[in-house]
Amino acid sequence: MASVAASGRPLLPPLVTRLLVIAAGVALWEGAARLGWINAFTAPAPSAIWSGFGKILSEGVLGYSMVVTFVTAFGAAACGSVVGIAIGYFLHIWKPAGAAYTAWVAAAASAPLVLLYPLFLVIIGRNMWTTLVMGAIGCIPPIALKTKEGLDGVRPVLLNVGRAFNLTSKQQFWMIMFPAALPSIFTGIRIGLLFAILNVIGIEFLISVGGLGQLIATLGDRFDYPQMYAGIFFVILVSVAFFWIIERLEQWLLSST
């Protein structure tokens, strides 16, 4: 990077460098759209998107859509985490099941489970529960895998410390195994959360039951691309909020175990 001096110390603070890179990107995009290098209709200039923010906020549907998406994705992630951690724990303690099914869970983690949505439309119906279930299903496999990996990876010496202190099996789990596996479990939750948000937005987009996904689909159908990009920005905002919450949750759990 050019902002590194010969002494190895950065010339600019990292935050300033980051903001400068973003500003340069936005300026380049703005210039390209205005000069006609890119199609300003499908990729409107940032200034046009900025005006789209005003419109989308004034129409009054954004707040509700954000709440719907946030609640659905949060519910999906919470349900998926509980089920995923339980499956991971089961695969860890029951070794034959772990040997037999871990590969399947790994395959499920990389499969596009969102394509199962017609099945759940039939079973559950065209409502928010389908979105929630699809979101939860998407995040279960990575959380289960990382939970198993975390629990398998607890160093035997830590378990021996617990045994030497005559810990009960419940204490052994909550005081040693769980906190030791927590970093891996939270890696799974972060990956799972990504799948949950993708699935929730995708299903909202496909079955139009509300939320940011439906809003983006509607704006796209109206060819209102500046507002559509503004909607996408709010999807990113929801993701950032989630990751922030997960990080705080991890820190709180680690400090309280």
Partner 1 sequence: MANDAQGTTPVLRLQNVAKTFFTPHGDVRAVEPLSLDIRQGEFISVIGPSGCGKSTLMNIVGGLIEDYEGSVEVDGVQVRGCHKEIGMVFQEESTFPWRTAIDNVAFPLEAAGMGREERVAKARELLHLVGLDGFENRFPSELSGGMRQRIAIARTLAFRPRILLMDEPFAALDEQTRLLLGDKVVQIQQELNQTTMLITHNIAEAVQLSDRVLIMTFRPGRIKRVVEIDLPRPRSSKMMGGERFGHYVAAIWDDLREEASKGLQELERLRS
Chain residues in the site for partner 1 (CB under 8 A): 155, 157-158, 160-161, 163-167, 171, 175-176, 179-180, 182, 254, 257
Whichever of 18 and 163 has its CB closer to partner 1, that residue is 163
Whichever of 7 and 166 has its CB closer to partner 1, that residue is 166
Q: Which of 140, 118, 97 is nearest to 203 (CA)?
A: 118
- Min dist CB 162 to partner 1, Å, is 8
- Min dist CB 27 to partner 1, Å, is 42
- Where do we find the tokens 């895998």? 145
Whichever of 175 and 246 has its CB closer to partner 1, that residue is 175
The residues that bridge with 10 in the sheet, in sequence order, are 4
Long-range contacts of 224-227 (CB under 8 A, 24+ apart): 224/52, 225/41, 225/42, 225/43, 225/44, 225/52, 226/44, 226/48, 226/49, 226/51, 226/52, 226/55, 227/52, 227/55, 227/56
Task: Give the number of C-alpha atoms closer than 13 A to the C-alpha of residue 134, restricted to the C-beta side.
Answer: 32
Whichever of 163 and 222 has its CB closer to partner 1, that residue is 163
**What is the identity of the amino acid at 22?**
I
- Min dist CB 2 to partner 1, Å, is 33
- Min dist CB 59 to partner 1, Å, is 47
Roughly how many angstroms between the first and final C-alpha of the chain, as a whole number?
Answer: 41
Whichever of 24 and 161 has its CB closer to partner 1, that residue is 161
- Min dist CB 143 to partner 1, Å, is 20
